[in-house]
Amino acid sequence: MSGAPFVIVMNDDGTYYLQVEPTPEAMAELAAKAVVFWGRKAIERRSAFHLALSGGSTPKALYRRLSGPPYADQLDWQRVHLWWSDERAVPHDHPDSNYNLAYDALIAHVPIPPENVHRVQTELGLAGAAEQYEAEIRSRIAGVADPSWPTFDLILLGMGDDGHTASLFPHTPALAERSRLVASQVVPQANVPARITFTPPLINAADVVCFMVSGASKAGTLRRVLLGEYQPQALPAQLIAPTRGKLFWMVDAAAASHVAAGPAYPSEEFIYRRMR
């Protein structure tokens, strides 16, 4: 593990921070510390912590760490609210459900009130689920800079080999959404085509957005997203640029192998400026 502080994400000057950890396990450990830090800060500030979770294998290790000591004891779970940045249109107990993944790895093991777990109600159908989720977000979360855009305390995201994040896939209609908080769409290239997703403006209204990326298969895409030409239709992760918050990338050494200069297992954080 690098040993670099996880609280170094103050990027008010327009930079964003890329923290490189040697392994996926070290990255998950750092992420757990960061979630606790941001959660306690949010609870102190507004008596609640609104956290949007991501699906996929990378954050699963994080959820397992948060579910037990020492991290589970460091959060006031009565004040934690869990949401999902995207969901597949499957039953909530289906193996492909992002909610189901988080339930098994985290929710079933911590004393969070059931009413604080805000899953996407996929049983309402694709459009109905998106509409209901948007209404629930608006009713529960206030906007800080702009009342029309609720402000999540922390949104966790992953990134696919194709540069997608949440269920914002390349060349899909949701990329152009500018008024809705939550969109529904069918993505033919996805393993489960029917998706519900946070829109780019909702993600960018968050206090903190944190990407977690691991694996050598994503190294080339990560370089293109961070240092390449701005092509958000082809690389939707480039759309994520918080309007007033902080953007943090947590990656393992394999994913950073085409980006980070210096040793393969860096002992310091790397700061890059977006090429806009």
Domain residue spans of the chain: 16-150+160-247+264-272
Percentage of the chain surpassing pLDDT 70?
A: 88
Least confident residue range of 111-115, 167-171, 251-255:
251-255
Residue 276: pLDDT band (50, 70, 90) is very low
203-259: per-residue pLDDT in tens? Answer: 999 999 999 999 999 999 999 998 889 999 999 999 999 999 989 999 999 999 988
How far is 9 from 212, CA to CA, in rounded Å?
14
HSE-CB for 259 with a 13 A CA cutoff: 32
What is the token pair recorded at 253? 């050494």
Q: List C-alpha distances in Å: 259 to 56, 218, 224, 226.
A: 23, 11, 9, 8
163-181 CB burial, b ≥16 within 10 A, e <16 = bbbbbbbbebebbebeeeb
- The mean pLDDT value of the chain amounts to 89
pLDDT digits (tens, 9 = 90+) for 19-68: 888 899 999 999 999 999 999 999 999 999 999 999 888 899 999 999 99
Q: Which CATH class is domain 16-150+160-247+264-272?
A: alpha beta
Residue with tokens 């996880």: 6
Q: What length is written for the chain? A: 276
